[in-house]
Structure 1
């Protein structure tokens, strides 16, 4: 049975609102929750970028059942991998075992703020692989020193460490990232229902491991209003990740998506209140072999009505998958 998750989208709501949203998601019956980790929104219309790890700590205390996960954190630029290991271990303790650590190679949009430059994709993936090794070593509880190609760690140790460390998910978009996920990850993370990603993940050692997908939706009883909101706040997503990982800020995303029409967005994102349309958008992920699918409700001010509708109509319909 496919598990359905809820996304705390930090780009479109403030920290207190996000905690309230995940409390509502738990009450509505969502199976898990994920959170984006950004220093910028994709477009200025979204208007937010609170610190995801503080939100996660508050969410762990405000909820009791729903699993929490980063989707995703980049452990190579803004954060050193040793710092990520400490954050993740603390979150696993705070949530009493409900936390999973989702990692990825990052986007220029968020990582540029530390002024370390933005290397080519293959370098970023090499950095990710090295970072995952450091994090896993620290999860063992021993002292760790590491002097590698990209990172140095000197006599580090996690003093507050859960007996069961968080599972590590790796975001994938091509063969090299699938290799890293299959070899070093406990689960796969993707934003497109591409069968070839799951196949490669399995061939590199990921067979039988969870596979988590994510897709945006825009619920509103007024479909025209939903389409307009999705276009205003989410047209950037149609650019694809090879482009989206490279652009440096909201102005660049606005320029890159200036020719994207509302009807283009509506063709890619289910909008309105037709349950069947939402189920049809989720179905390709289930058919590709994803075991978990996280939904993003577009619009920070529309979460409560989406959660109520999900509890009453959408989640029971998705249960048929």
Structure 2
């Protein structure tokens, strides 16, 4: 299982995030994923820069790690033809290191364009149609499309990379797997659910990457880590079905108001216990995941985490997998 680092736009300023990308590569991470948000989840996180500008900068401060959006919604804030252009450009700038991660989005980020927030079945329909457009543009040549949700008039990617941009899709169950597996290359999800992996393989995507994401909160002071994780990540336990629907930070604050610090500490490894992180990561490996991106909670606590990851955590995670 390859270990990645999350460039979390919601908790870090754009200049610091780009700098952390270079530090993470030097620390030895295999890949880096970047969230694509318009809002943070909670006001306490305090940031949400434009992911695609930062991705362009990250391609220039890294040379080895693979890069990925985790994930972009190509249906509301962005037209799919524009997403295809952005992805192709990042692939060229990175020298073939980019994967386009897509999903059906969250109300939190997509409501800003004033198009409402339809039911999940409609959002899935929109994502399928968007992927058909993106794939057609990646094939090369002119694309014209008149669909239920999108129109494209004689679009063409003039700077098309030699290495086609792989696509990963965020899924949460059988319905999304059946719809998306035929259109993409890799599975993306935020829960170590082995059933999703089996269903994905059964849908004809056997051999693809299965990419997960897991938060941790490193600090030499465990109590400080628990407090920070509660302050900034208490929303995380709501699950996709809740997190996709709430329209703003006040909603996430209200939905998580009864979550206690000990509740967060029970689901997010906190402190500097390497074994606790290795144990939590093992659940992903045992579920069949090939890639796991770690989130270090707290934008101001990345450099110490990256030093610890290089010296202690990454070697332990790789040794733990050897068994």
Give the TM-score category using the shorter length.
over 0.9
1:235 corresponding residue in structure 2? 234
Given that residues 182 and 203 in structure 1 are in contact (C-alpha distance below 8 angstroms), is that contact kept between their aligned partners in structure 2?
A: no
1:180 corresponding residue in structure 2? 179
Q: How does 1:112-191 map to 2 (within 5 A)?
A: 112-191=111-190
2:203 corresponding residue in structure 1? 204
User: Which digits, 9 at most, give the CA deviation of each residue in 1:16-42, with x for residues without a partner?
Assistant: 100011101000000000000000000
Aligned counterparts of 2:225 and 2:36: Cα–Cα separation in 1: 25
TM-score normalised according to structure 2 size: 0.98
Tell which deviates more after alignment, 84-93 or 171-180.
Answer: 171-180
Aligned counterparts of 2:69 and 2:78: Cα–Cα separation in 1: 14
1:16 corresponding residue in structure 2? 15
User: Which digits, 9 at most, give the CA deviation of each residue in 1:174-221, with x for residues without a partner?
Assistant: 112112332111000010001111111111111111100001000000
2:278 corresponding residue in structure 1? 279
1:73 aligns with 2:72: yes
Runs of 4+ in 1 over 4 A off after TM superposition: none
Per-residue deviation, 1:272: 0.2
TM-score normalised according to structure 1 size: 0.99
User: Which digits, 9 at most, give the CA deviation of each residue in 1:272-294, with x for residues without a partner?
Assistant: 00000011111100000000000
2:316 corresponding residue in structure 1? 317
Given that residues 89 and 162 in structure 1 are in contact (C-alpha distance below 8 angstroms), is that contact kept between their aligned partners in structure 2?
A: yes
Q: Which runs of 5+ in 1 are unaligned?
A: none
SS at match of 2:88: helix
Aligned counterparts of 1:54 and 1:68: Cα–Cα separation in 2: 14
Tell which deviates more after alignment, 193-202 or 293-302.
Answer: 193-202
Give the total of aligned pairs: 320
User: Which digits, 9 at most, give the CA deviation of each residue in 1:32-89, with x for residues without a partner?
Assistant: 0000000000000000000000000000011111111000000000000000000000
Given that residues 181 and 187 in structure 1 are in contact (C-alpha distance below 8 angstroms), is that contact kept between their aligned partners in structure 2?
A: no
1:213 corresponding residue in structure 2? 212
Q: How does 1:290-305 map to 2 (within 5 A)?
A: 290-305=289-304
Aligned counterparts of 2:100 and 2:179: Cα–Cα separation in 1: 15
Tell which deviates more after alignment, 139-148 or 180-189.
Answer: 180-189
Aligned counterparts of 1:295 and 1:262: Cα–Cα separation in 2: 20
Given that residues 125 and 176 in structure 1 are in contact (C-alpha distance below 8 angstroms), is that contact kept between their aligned partners in structure 2?
A: no
1:5 corresponding residue in structure 2? 4
SS at match of 1:208: coil
Aligned counterparts of 1:81 and 1:197: Cα–Cα separation in 2: 26
Q: Which runs of 5+ in 2 are unaligned?
A: none
Aligned counterparts of 2:317 and 2:153: Cα–Cα separation in 1: 48
Aligned counterparts of 2:9 and 2:86: Cα–Cα separation in 1: 18
Given that residues 8 and 33 in structure 1 are in contact (C-alpha distance below 8 angstroms), is that contact kept between their aligned partners in structure 2?
A: yes
SS at match of 1:216: strand
Given that residues 181 and 201 in structure 1 are in contact (C-alpha distance below 8 angstroms), is that contact kept between their aligned partners in structure 2?
A: no
